[in-house]
């Protein structure tokens, strides 16, 4: 299985000058667009914030924040309104690895093409 990454731009609705472009790993096992907590200030004041607990792949429980609303645009797909999950991350080789979870993918009408290792546009959203 290969890695699929995509360019994502996150912008604050309360302060449109606060724009955060990044490359993110597509992770269908993650729920939210997940960003490092170290980038929190780059999005400015986000009016809705709530604390959540996360269960990691190693079964560790960690605290986190869900913040919004933000404008999320995965390159090549229509922009959406949503939230970001901010998590304490350790950089690898000086770089953080944001994640694009299934909520942002579904809202953007993006699906994973496993054969071509890319995101493709979904013509219709599921109502069921």
**What domain range includes position 80?**
5-121
CATH number of the domain that residue 26 is part of: 2.40.70.10
Residue 128 falls inside a structural domain: no
CA distance 111 to 99: 15
Burial 51-69 (b: 16+ CB within 10 A, else e): eeeeeeeeeeeeebbbbbe
Residue 127 falls inside a structural domain: no
Query: How many domains does one find in the chain?
Result: 1
Residue 126 falls inside a structural domain: no
Residue 98 falls inside a structural domain: yes
Q: Report, as ranges of residue numbers, the positions in the chain whose pLDDT lies below 70.
A: 1
pLDDT in tens, 42-52: 999 999 999 99
């Amino acid at each position: 299985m290969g890695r699929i990454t995509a360019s994502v731009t996150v912008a604050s609705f309360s302060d449109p000058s606060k724009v955060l472009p990044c490359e993110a790993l597509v992770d269908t096992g993650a729920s939210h667009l997940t960003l490092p907590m170290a980038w929190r200030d780059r999005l400015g004041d986000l009016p809705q914030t709530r604390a959540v607990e996360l269960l990691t792949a190693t079964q560790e429980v960690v605290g986190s924040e869900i913040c919004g609303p933000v404008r999320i645009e995965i390159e090549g797909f229509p922009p959406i309104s949503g939230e970001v999950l901010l998590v304490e991350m350790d950089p690898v080789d000086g770089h953080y690895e944001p994640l694009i979870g299934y909520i942002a993918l579904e809202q953007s009408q993006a699906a994973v093409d496993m054969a071509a290792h890319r995101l493709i546009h979904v013509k219709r959203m599921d109502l069921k």
